[in-house]
Chains A and B, each alone.
Chain A
Amino acid sequence: DAGVTQSPTHLIKTRGQQVTLRCSPKSGHDTVSWYQQALGQGPQFIFQYYEEEERQRGNFPDRFSGHQFPNYSSELNVNALLLGDSALYLCASSYSTGNFYGYTFGSGTRLTVV
């Protein structure tokens, strides 16, 4: 049973560029959340997608946007990249029904902005 798959694993972009990160959730999961983890810090919630709509959002600017497809996979887009956007971007999936008992995380995409 495949877990959460993220691509690419590593990415180097230039300041001002745009980037798209991709995520396939664990089989059976319908909710996808994205987190940003700076070096030496805990992950920070960016947003969550359910039924192809953004259900919750953290304190991130509008440069961060996303999408969820009918097959539950998701994309994270970041426009006008800043040096401070360099981080590990984690995708996490879960099942929406009932109480929340935790995520399955992917291995992340390491984004470096130069």
Chain B
Amino acid sequence: TQLLEQSPQFLSIQEGENLTVYCNSSSVFSSLQWYRQEPGEGPVLLVTVVTGGEVKKLKRLTFQFGDARKDSSLHITAAQPGDTGLYLCAGNGGTSYGKLTFGQGTILTVHP
């Protein structure tokens, strides 16, 4: 069974601060996605990383896939209240198309 441990579970910060969310596993994933979910809505895909060591940037968000494809991180620079939400990492197993293993999520609150 593949497991993804996501940390921290909760983050409460002030506007303008930086933060990093971590996603770790003992399993290798063929790809890893990060999603953002708001209350009452489904998760929205932010990024997919596929290659070990890959770094992708989406405005103030930086995503990194570990060299061994077992871990990933999400770094947000100068957080804004609009960044508030639940952030989920999800790994796709090598032989399981689209059978995602999700982390338990990080609830981020950015105070003005």
Number of interface residues of B (CB under 8 A): 27
Known: A101-B48, A102-B45. A42 touches B90 (CB 8 A): yes
Query: Please, how many angstroms separate the alpha-carbon atoms of A48 and B96 in the complex?
Result: 10
A48 to B92, CA, bound (A): 13
C-alpha gap A39/B90 in the complex (Å): 17
Given contacts A90-B43, A106-B42, A107-B42, contact A99 B99 (CB under 8 A): no
Whole-angstrom distance between the Cβ of A77 and the nearest chain B Cβ:
20
Contact A42 B88 (CB under 8 A): yes
Q: CB distance B42 to A108 under 8 Å? A: yes
Given known A101-B31, A105-B44, A108-B42, contact A96–B97 (CB-CB < 8 A): yes
Contacts of A65 in B (CB 8 A): none
Interface status of A86 (Cβ within 8 A of chain B): no
Q: Which of A40, A90, A100 contacts B98 (CB 8 A)?
A: A100
Q: When the two chains form the complex, which single residue of A31, A45, A104 contacts B100, counting CB atoms closer than 8 Å?
A: A45
Report if A43-B102 is in contact (Cβ < 8 Å); known contacts: A104-B45, A105-B43. yes
Identity of the chain B residue whose Cβ is nearest the Cβ of A104 in the assembled complex: B45
Cβ–Cβ contact B42 & A4, under 8 A: yes
* Bound-state Cα–Cα, A40 to B106, Å: 9
Q: Is the CB of B42 within 8 A of A100?
A: no
B33 part of interface (Cβ distance < 8 Å): yes
**B112 lies within 8 A of chain A by Cβ:** no
A94 within 8 A of B: yes
Interface string of B37-78 (1 = CB under 8 A from A): 000111111001010000000000000000000000000000
Distance in angstroms between the alpha carbons of A58 and B33 in the assembled complex:
19
A 74-85 binary contact with B (CB < 8 Å = 1; else 0): 000000000000
Residue pair B97, A58 in contact (C-beta under 8 Å): no
Q: Is there an interface contact between A33 and B98, defined as CB atoms closer than 8 Å?
A: yes
Report if A56 contacts B (CB, 8 A).
Answer: yes
CA distance A99 to B48 in the complex (A): 11
Binding site for B on A (CB under 8 A): 4, 31, 33, 35, 40-45, 48, 55-56, 58, 90, 92, 94, 96, 99-108
